[in-house]
Amino acid sequence: MSPSNGPNPDNQKTIGKVFSLSGIGIHSGKNCEIIFRPAPADSGIYFIYNGKKFPARADLVSGTSRGTSIAGIQVVEHALAAINGLGIDNIEIEVSSAELPVFDGSALPYLQALKAAGMVELGKQKKYLTINSPIEINDGSGSLKILPFNGFKINFMIEFPYIGRQEFCYSEGFEDQIAPARTFGLFDELEKLKRRGLAKGASLDNALAIGKAGYLNPPRFKDEPVRHKILDLIGDLSLVGRQVKGEIFAKKSGHKLNIELSRRLLALC
C-alpha cells in the first residue's frame, strides 16, 4: 500500500490507519464500539462480529424494518453510505454489539472520521457494475427503477404527512449535499416504536422530528428527509459490492425496495 498523491477514480482505495468510534444505537439505546481497519485490494467491505467475519453483501441482509440489518447487525446503512461516498472499496469493520452507532443521525460523523484516517490507493482497478438494460421494481406504494447511464445519479421523490412532497436529484457532492442529512420520523409515532422495542436511543440530537406544524427541530436542509432517503439508498447499494453505473428513479422507496434492487444487481455481478 502507498499513500495516494491525489484522487484517482479508477483505483481501489482503503483507509490509511486503524481507528475506532463509539456511540449508542438509535433503536437499542446500547453503546457500540466500532473499529475500522484497512483492507487489501479485492477484499471488499466486510464486518466482524462475535468472532465471525462476513462480507457486506445484499444476500446476507437479515432485516429492513427501520434500517438495514446484515447478519443480525442493525442500521449499517449510514456507515456504508459514508464509505461509498468516499469511494472506499476495501475496509474491515469490527463491531462490539448488534447495532451501529447513530451519532447525529447522519453519515457525516462516519465520513469525517474516515477522511481523517486518510485514503490509500491500491494497485488494482475499481470494480464497476454497468447497467445495460432497465430494471424496475415496486411494492404497490413505492418504486425503484435503474436505467443505463455513464455515471451515477439518483432522482428521489418522497411524500410524508405534514411535510408533503419532496424531490431531489443527486449526482455529486456527497459530503456537502447528502452526508449531513439526518434520519427523521413522525413524532406521534415515537411511542408506538418504543412499544415495539425500537427508538430507545432516539432524541432530537440524533433525528429530525416531524410534527403537525412541520419540523420540530431545525433542519439542516429544507428538504432534509428526501436527502436522507438518498443517503440510505447509497448505503444499501453498497451491498452490491461494486460501484454502480446507472441512473436511479426512486419514488417513496425504503430499505425493503432498496435491498431488493441491490439483490438483483448483485446477481448481475
CA dist 239 and 237 (Å) reads: 5
- Distance (Å) of CA 134 to CA 144, 199, 237, 238: 11, 37, 16, 19
Instruction: Give the pLDDT confidence score for residue 7 in this predicted structure.
Output: 58
Domain boundaries along the sequence of the chain: 2-127
Per the document, the length of the chain is 269
pLDDT tens string, the chain, 269 residues long: the values are: 444 455 577 899 999 999 999 999 998 999 999 999 999 999 999 999 999 999 999 999 999 988 999 999 999 999 999 999 999 999 999 999 999 999 999 999 999 999 999 999 998 999 999 999 999 999 989 999 999 999 999 999 999 999 999 999 999 999 999 999 999 999 888 777 777 877 888 888 999 999 999 999 999 999 999 999 999 999 999 999 999 999 999 999 999 999 999 999 999 99
The catalytic residue positions are 255
Instruction: Give the pLDDT confidence score for residue 233 in this predicted structure.
Output: 98
Q: 224-237 and 255-266 helices cross at what angle (nearest 10)?
A: 30
Locus of grid cell 434492487: 261
At the fourth CATH level, which superfamily is domain 2-127?
Answer: lpxc deacetylase, domain 1 (3.30.230.20)
pTM for the model:
0.95
* In contact, 244 and 265? CB cutoff 8 Å: yes
Q: In percent, how much of the chain has pLDDT > 70?
A: 97
